[in-house]
Structure 1
Amino acid sequence: MSDISIDYQDIQGNSLAGFNKDHQTFLLVQFRDAPSARTWLATLVPRISPLSEVQDFNNLRRSMIARLGRAPRSLAVSWINIALSARGVDLLKSDGDDPLDDNAFNVGLAGGRADLLGDPPKRNEWKFGATDKTSADALVIVATDAAAHLRTVVRELRDGIKAANVKLLYTQKGHTLEGNLRGHEHFGFRDGISQPAVRGFTQPPKPGEPMIWPGQFVLGLPRQDDADPDQPLDPLPCPDWAKNGSYVVIRRLRQDVEGFWQHMKGEAARIGAGPEFPNIDCTRLASMLVGRWPSGAPFVLSPTSDNPELALANDFRFGDADAFPPVCPFAAHIRKVNPRSDPVEGGGPSSALTRRFLRRGIPYTDGPTDRGLIFVSYQSSIENQFEFVSRQWASNDVLPVSPPGEEAISGFDPIIGQNDENHRERSMMLFGHTGTAVDVILPRDFVTPTGGGYFFAPSISTLRRWTAE
């Protein structure tokens, strides 16, 4: 199948193209009843940004950067997308429209999936999504190039919410970090480097970007086949109204920046006193845990020092190219969530491609002790993509790859992995040049979920039909 029919006018733009704006706001909305929800949605649908608009702007911006050698100063736009929870879909969908059959989506975080992910059981600090009462029916994503313009758009949306008699549950702001931390997350590491390329859409793919069939991210399109990555499977079965839509996961992840770096200093002193990693400093240790240096340079390509020239490098492998003892630890964050050429359970390296999702997150700063990442992902199955990576890889001390030996374990993902036992302590293994294992102990979570939800972003035509009835 060489020709892939992607409906650029019908698919919401943040899925395949990505808003990629410095300033974003997430509005969590609750519905009181179907009539008021439809009234509100009818005012919003004309403002939803389609894939065509987002992609055209992104292409224009890239072209101007290539010509000017810098980002254009006068090119600005604002975009809006919307996604609905299972309850939101049930309230709005037409009579006769079949329900979605993604079990994770239908149950939701508050219904039990947060427990399944291993989230801390006490969720009194969650801003939204901890209980049915604090869960949203709709997620509105607003993105702009200028903070002042964002405030204007959000104010208009808030007025519309009030006028339609629906409830604004929570407002979450997100902004790209400034100065030397631009493009980085709060721990100081460059973020968002590794994204999959979408067949029939990404032109051209960057080195190291695997080409993945678009049905892994948007329903109704051809999807990935583990056995033959170059030939697609039929689209995932779904109701007709759900075609051109995507499942959306949002997670508010608070980062304990001071605690993380204080612990890295202590662990570096302890490990550096031993023979395997003599005099290791906290930056190198933290980089081994992440799998990249703060600049973004992959540890497997530059194991002894940071190299900003490799900041955006994505063309590297694990597997046989970094087997044992591994340069990049088996449990390093980037290796856990994207095993690349590592063998994974159920198949060879190509099996990992069906687990990939598109990330559209942004940092947030709500105070000196409340800062972190608004994680947003788009996929065609929450259970088989986001939840699988979170549970079976990041929060599993054995998978996707372990060192040789029946009793050996690689450890938890030290950044987002969660030990759902009664305690939150977890560990991972580093291996010196002799293959001797050294444990890194993390006594508690340094990244903690404080909000979230599962949503579905319908096609624009579906939203129009639902509001016209």
Structure 2
Amino acid sequence: MVRNIEFNDIQGLIVRGYSELPASCFLLLNITDVAKARQWLGVISEEITDGISKPTQRAVQVAFTYTGIKKLGMDEASLRSFAREFKEGMTADHRKRVLGDLGESDTIKWQWGGPANEEVHIMLMLYYSLDKNLEDDCAIQVSKLDGVRLIQRLDSNLSIFQKRKEHFGFQDGISQPLIKGFSKQGDPRFMVEPGEFILGYQNEYHKLPDSPWVSGDGIPYNLLPLLKDGSNNYDFGKNGTYMVFRQISQDVLKFWKFMEDATCEGGSDEEKRVRLASKMMGRWPSGAPLVKCPERDNPALGQDNSFEFYHADRDGFKCPIGSHVRRSNPRNSKGPTPEESDLINKRHKILRRGRPYGTYIESFDPAEIVAHPEVAKDRGLHFICFNTSLSRQFEFIQDTWINSSKFQGLYNDPDPISGNPLGRCKSETGTFTIQAEPVRERIKDVPAFTKVIGGSYFFMPGIKAVKYLASIR
């Protein structure tokens, strides 16, 4: 058991997803007056919800871009201690191919966070139990902004969704890492070291992850711990983490129209549409894993996450090898042995805290979706995840698993749900292979059903580190 995790200094969203606070909004802020912004930040730092609290009414979190931290006045030597990916930012040109931000997802087309948009410095994250509370308090928070200006407000409300389903109609948020020191129950083989998600603690390499630091001059007493390297520098990163935030738009009509066209044999058949979509996802709409129920949905297994691939479905006859579930979490299927695969997998985990946005259309029928009065409105996912190594965790998953067209022996198959064919296939469509005997089935001309319309890399500091940023002079 991991001891001495400082939950009182860790921002609470890292510890829990606030499912009991379904109404939320994320305020994108730009610093206009540094001195006033620090004063405002000092006030906000007293409102931040920590990892011990279990709020039932309201939670407040705050995160910063690299330019935001720089703007607040951190010295150049200290700024260099941040991860290269964080300093370069999500929109660096060479990162487009890694993340799949090409074509309709090109950063130049983004609504926020892109090179053509106003610079985001801070994200204020607000969570509430009721919509009314959100609207009332959000208005108060905006009125209190001083030295910072609101660029954009991003809203989400879990209460309008059926049992945490995402817009394509599938149960979401089932598979999350079990973290040592966080999770009281779970198979010890699958418990992940906290240093994969929080700086200052041992990671899966049995080392402390690289952490940003600040020089020892002028540090207010007891705000930051000294580094253990014998220097006079302080650990700014302790109890903090890197946060990925991407606004992903989902084309629900395009998704289900493709399923209809790909399965149409003289008429519309919802069962066939749902079956193909489930093959692509790797789970049925209820969340039931195909590995355990390959022929039909079983809602009783909707929350089941206790399955593996190596022994149960090595060849992908139940759950296709290229499905979203197998790519985003290969479990023990990567080899050369199941045990080695489990170890590899634990070194490429992310902690997800995303939320859907937009109106939910509860239908798998393209005709019904077209007729919906709000079909033209944007809807999708505010993808949020935490990791201590952007390159080894989030970017590795995106590049090597999600967008790879040659994942585990495939040829022209990016992730059919969230991949971008333009990355590896170099065309606007890819292929999805359904393994079967005696002959596999190949679904061709699979387009991208999602596009990224905004995003940024953030650093979510420990609460003491937030207070340090407010104290810089």
Is the CA contact 2:194–2:201 (under 8 Å) kept in the aligned structure 1?
yes
Alignment of 1:172-251 (within 5 A): 172-176=154-158, 178=160, 181-205=162-186, 210-225=190-205, 232-239=206-213, 240-251=235-246
Displacement of 1:165 after TM fit? 3.2
Indicate the residue corresponding to 1:332 in structure 2.
323
Is the CA contact 1:111–1:132 (under 8 Å) kept in the aligned structure 2?
no
CA distance in 1, matches of 2:240, 2:328: 24
Displacement of 1:323 after TM fit? 1.3
Question: How many pairs does the alignment contain?
Answer: 427
Indicate the residue corresponding to 2:462 in structure 1.
459
Instruction: Tell me the TM-score normalised to structure 1 length.
Output: 0.85
Indicate the residue corresponding to 1:428 in structure 2.
432
Is the CA contact 2:179–2:191 (under 8 Å) kept in the aligned structure 1?
yes
Rate the CA distance shift 1:439–1:234 in 2: closer, same or farther, 3 A. Answer: same
**Residues 240-279 of structure 1 deviation map (CA, whole Å, 9 limit, x = unaligned):** 111111100111111111110011011123699xxxxx99
Farther off after superposition, 97-106 or 297-306: 97-106
CA distance in 1, matches of 2:468, 2:445: 51
Rate the CA distance shift 1:250–1:77 in 2: closer, same or farther, 3 A. Answer: same
**Residues 280-311 of structure 1 deviation map (CA, whole Å, 9 limit, x = unaligned):** 70101100100000000001100010000000
Rate the CA distance shift 1:461–1:123 in 2: closer, same or farther, 3 A. Answer: closer
Rate the CA distance shift 1:39–1:340 in 2: closer, same or farther, 3 A. Answer: same
CA distance in 2, matches of 1:318, 1:270: 32
- Confirm whether residue 35 of structure 1 aligns to residue 35 of structure 2: yes
Instruction: Determine which of 260, 274, 285 is the counterpart of 1:283.
Output: 274
CA distance in 2, matches of 1:453, 1:242: 19
Instruction: Tell me the TM-score normalised to structure 2 length.
Output: 0.84
DSSP-derived class of the 1:252 partner: strand
Indicate the residue corresponding to 2:448 in structure 1.
445
DSSP-derived class of the 2:14 partner: coil
**Residues 24-46 of structure 1 deviation map (CA, whole Å, 9 limit, x = unaligned):** 10111111243232122122111
CA distance in 2, matches of 1:270, 1:139: 49
Displacement of 1:325 after TM fit? 4.7
CA distance in 1, matches of 2:32, 2:430: 42
Displacement of 1:111 after TM fit? 2.8
Is the CA contact 1:357–1:386 (under 8 Å) kept in the aligned structure 2?
yes
CA distance in 2, matches of 1:362, 1:329: 26
Is the CA contact 2:78–2:212 (under 8 Å) kept in the aligned structure 1?
no
CA distance in 1, matches of 2:41, 2:265: 57
Displacement of 1:210 after TM fit? 2.6
- Confirm whether residue 358 of structure 1 aligns to residue 360 of structure 2: no
CA distance in 2, matches of 1:354, 1:441: 33
Indicate the residue corresponding to 1:69 in structure 2.
none
Farther off after superposition, 445-454 or 112-121: 112-121
Rate the CA distance shift 1:102–1:94 in 2: closer, same or farther, 3 A. Answer: closer
Indicate the residue corresponding to 1:118 in structure 2.
100
CA distance in 1, matches of 2:27, 2:189: 32
Rate the CA distance shift 1:368–1:209 in 2: closer, same or farther, 3 A. Answer: farther
Is the CA contact 1:397–1:410 (under 8 Å) kept in the aligned structure 2?
yes
Rate the CA distance shift 1:221–1:270 in 2: closer, same or farther, 3 A. Answer: farther
Indicate the residue corresponding to 1:415 in structure 2.
417
Alignment of 1:18-57 (within 5 A): 18-20=17-19, 21-54=21-54, 57=55
CA distance in 2, matches of 1:32, 1:243: 28
Is the CA contact 1:291–1:328 (under 8 Å) kept in the aligned structure 2?
yes
- Confirm whether residue 387 of structure 1 aligns to residue 389 of structure 2: no
**Residues 57-103 of structure 1 deviation map (CA, whole Å, 9 limit, x = unaligned):** 5xxxxxxxxxxxxxxxxxx3100101100111112254463534322
Displacement of 1:237 after TM fit? 4.6
Instruction: Determine which of 362, 378, 398 is the counterpart of 2:386.
Output: 378
Indicate the residue corresponding to 1:228 in structure 2.
none
Rate the CA distance shift 1:145–1:351 in 2: closer, same or farther, 3 A. Answer: same
Indicate the residue corresponding to 1:127 in structure 2.
111
CA distance in 2, matches of 1:325, 1:46: 51
**Residues 411-468 of structure 1 deviation map (CA, whole Å, 9 limit, x = unaligned):** 211011112355321112101232x221123442111111111100011101112212
Residue segments in structure 2 that go unaligned for 5+ positions in a row: 214-234, 360-373
Q: Which amino acid aligns with 1:417?
A: G
Indicate the residue corresponding to 2:231 in structure 1.
none
- Confirm whether residue 349 of structure 1 aligns to residue 342 of structure 2: yes
CA distance in 2, matches of 1:157, 1:115: 38
Alignment of 1:101-116 (within 5 A): 101-112=82-93, 113-116=95-98
Rate the CA distance shift 1:344–1:34 in 2: closer, same or farther, 3 A. Answer: farther
Displacement of 1:345 after TM fit? 8.5
Rate the CA distance shift 1:244–1:270 in 2: closer, same or farther, 3 A. Answer: farther
Rate the CA distance shift 1:214–1:442 in 2: closer, same or farther, 3 A. Answer: farther
CA distance in 1, matches of 2:113, 2:168: 25
**Residues 370-407 of structure 1 deviation map (CA, whole Å, 9 limit, x = unaligned):** 011111001101111111101110000122x22xxxxx
Displacement of 1:9 after TM fit? 1.0
CA distance in 1, matches of 2:270, 2:31: 57
DSSP-derived class of the 1:384 partner: helix
Is the CA contact 1:129–1:452 (under 8 Å) kept in the aligned structure 2?
yes
- Confirm whether residue 143 of structure 1 aligns to residue 116 of structure 2: no
Instruction: Determine which of 304, 311, 336 is the counterpart of 1:313.
Output: 304
CA distance in 2, matches of 1:114, 1:344: 29
Residue segments in structure 1 that go unaligned for 5+ positions in a row: 58-75, 226-231, 273-277, 403-407
CA distance in 1, matches of 2:189, 2:158: 24
DSSP-derived class of the 2:35 partner: helix
Displacement of 1:130 after TM fit? 1.5
Indicate the residue corresponding to 2:257 in structure 1.
262
Is the CA contact 1:214–1:222 (under 8 Å) kept in the aligned structure 2?
yes
How well do the aligned residues superpose, as a CA RMSD in angstroms?
A: 2.6
Once the two structures are aligned, what percentage of the paired residues are identical?
29
